[in-house]
Amino acid sequence: MRKRSFGSGRSSFSRSNRFSGGGKNFSQHIDSNRYVRHAVPIIEHEVLSTMVFESLPINPRLKSNIHGKGYRNLTPIQEKLILPILEGRDVIGMANTGTGKTGAFLIPLIERTVQVATKITLILVPTRELAFQVNAELQEFSAMLHMRSALCIGGESIHRQMSMLREHPQFIIGTPGRMLDLLKRRALSVTAIGFFVLDEVDRMLDMGFVNDIKNIIRDMPAEKQSLFFSATMSSTINSLAHSFMRDPLTVSVVTRETAENVEQNVVRVQGEEGKLGTLSTMLTQPEFKKVLIFGRTKHGVERLSKTLQAKGFKAASIHGNKQQNARARAIKAFKEDMIRVLVATDVAARGLDIPDITHVINYDEPATYEDYIHRIGRTGRGNQLGNALTFIG
């Protein structure tokens, strides 16, 4: 077995797939063989359709904005969903991350809002970071089309959000908990919602938002158009979808369990000192250009980030104890290559869409295999090859 050692012989990194997990960890008995898979390059025609945005029956300004973002061909989920959404169909979309899902619902909803300016769109997402990203994409797609949006998330001033809602925005984007707070304060009414989007529903249910979602939906008009997106479809998710949707069109572009274009391997370590030594050695290697590190706890993530900073690495952290503006600054610095390393908890990293991440490192093992899939999906976006390494004790 060929091995390459890191950290003074305390750990070893192997490209063999003959590993079994050892030591104590918090994962639910995930077979570590599942962390090992060789990358298969994605061919361009596998992720883009032959349909071009120019052919869509949408506003010329909207087409210009799409073109300005560098988009020419639709992705498969966009090809399958944009026209039905334009026609007013309820849809259930099942898709992996990085498939163009956000554009698949924003583009037709912007077009429908241009046509009927009195209709309001409510978009529910599981995390603040994803809400920021959806709002940013909305601003880019709708430039010069006089669209207003309100971002309603926890960690920000609720009074400022109430003020934004009084300005009658066409798009309201937020997380379930804050939306429910605004409803209870009567600062938000859902009776005028014309378009409703539930994004990353599986993540929202994992985070315990199912009752919040049901309470938000309860007073919405029956005639609204509903769009529902999830990477998986359990019986609970399916039941939730059909409880408020009308004859939905179901489209799936989930093609693989984990990203085929991500090289996945394990790293054997011994103790905390061995883990840190191995990580430090890795981060000195030139190929580790932009690295997202996952830890289990908020305190552990913060401690690791500060330790790496003390060792001279440009690093930052995001976790639930961090103020939203600090999290936003860290993500912005990572996106703009002002730092090379971002350390995160699973919840804080939900929905992150940051290009050119070369490596995902599972410093702590994931709690579930589904969490593992989500983590490694942050690298190897689009057609790029990515790398995922999981530390095993």
Q: How many CB atoms lie within 10 A of CB 96?
A: 17
- CA distances, 197 to each of 139, 167, 186, 200 (Å): 17, 21, 21, 10
Name the residue among 325, 322, 329 with its Cα closest to residue 347. 322
The domains of the chain, with CATH numbers, are 3-42+260-392 (3.40.50.300), 47-252 (3.40.50.300)
Q: How confident is the model at residue 235 (pLDDT cuts 50, 70, 90)?
A: confident
Q: Are 275 and 251 in contact (CB under 8 A)?
A: no
d(CA 152, CA 233): 27
Instruction: Count other C-beta atoms under 10 Å from residue 73's C-beta.
Output: 17
Q: How far is CA 99 from CA 78, 263, 346, 382, in A?
A: 9, 19, 20, 7
Q: What is the token pair recorded at 173?
A: 């984007």
Question: Burial, 89: exposed, middle or buried (Cβ in 10 Å; 0-12, 13-18, 19+)?
Answer: middle
Region label for 78, one of left (φ > 0), alpha (ψ between -120 and 50) or beta (otherwise): alpha
Q: Model-level pTM?
A: 0.67
pLDDT digits (tens, 9 = 90+) for 184-231: 999 999 988 999 999 999 888 877 888 999 999 998 998 999 999 988
Contacts of 96 (CB under 8 A, 6+ apart): 231, 253, 254, 255, 256, 259, 377
Q: What is the pLDDT of residues 135-188, one digit of tens each?
A: 999 999 999 999 999 999 988 899 999 999 999 999 999 999 999 999 999 999
Rounded CA separation 239/250 (Å) = 14
Could you tell me where the beta strands, DSSP code E, fall in 26-100? Answer: 91-94
Question: Once rounded to an integer, what is the mean pLDDT over residues 299-321?
Answer: 95
> For residue 255, what pLDDT is reported?
56
